[in-house]
Structure 1
């Protein structure tokens, strides 16, 4: 049977989502370990997005085929009983036989969280980037408007050897401040390796006056990673939601 899992995790202590040969400390690896024990045989899951080391998820989605017949509630209860406390499965539901969490996704929302000012929020320090400099939010919004749309985002991809198309649609970049908390929310049909973190790093350079909003078009046109800003640290990034048709 094919199941759709909705998962939350604090990525602070993990080496990312994707199972890797040189470490067992991944989100995928932890989930597969518990599911394989439950099923009595090796089980492979497919995530909608391969979040990096230190990145979090509020609504990651994965698909998994299990042998035999299982009640979704039974699978969810077993997973939450044996998973580490910083990984939780918040939803399990039957999926069509052809459902694949990554291949069938039509939209994703990421949020990058920033703490402004000279005082950290001690309860959210693992989930925010501290920025003590004053940011020009109006300039950042003008830059975000240029970066929104359907473009070739190769300049915002860390994988220089990426062979496939780097054209994506980012239909919204929202910049919302509440007191000293600043959230940058990105919605699009898909994102390249480190793309949201590079977009964030570039927008922060605009906010601090290191770049002008008018430079964004030239950065896109360059199709060169060196043209864009730095890759923002992972701890501020959360995969919020994955959408399906």
Structure 2
């Protein structure tokens, strides 16, 4: 049984990923900024017969909160097999970088990018104790510079420029961490669920959460230790 921590797991893709991974026999910690919401999500899974889950409070923008979560995990488990950095915010629209407010830009980066960095840094001691640990950063196609510069780029992507920039930065983090942690046998990869209907996009996505969680779950369950520093989607790899 693998132990897995998913940030932002009380709803949306994080919650569905937790459901699927727990159904596969893993023990999943549902990270939530608000403990009550996380507990409600865990109780919902338990009511469905999925008992191998637990809620844990973790606000990825608050280092004290992350440290408390790490201390709690330390008291319950010997190691952490998989960290899934899923917590993210979309930010308000429209996000044209030429005019979007700096306060709003900083707010989106604080959760989507810096949150992933500090969560990873604080959880690394637990990951290092696992036999085959993995870090998974939940990204987006909009973070691909290749796709952003393609002639087939959807025109409405400009409405999400700040969000996209945080995911480009997250992808860069994936590459840097993969290079740094390769010799420690810690794999680090990015994965996109695709345009999935969640409250992040006002449920406008064309994929159901059950579909969006599939590539994340597949990566979390992968035994391939050579796959690191890559960007995955459902069905294969994406270009940076």
Range class of TM-score, shorter chain: under 0.3
Instruction: Report 1 or 2 for greater relative contact order, CA contacts < 8 Å, sequence distance ≥ 6.
Output: 1
Higher strand proportion, which one?
A: 1
Larger Rg: 1
TM-score normalised to structure 2 length: 0.27
Higher helix proportion, which one?
A: 2
TM-score normalised to structure 1 length: 0.27
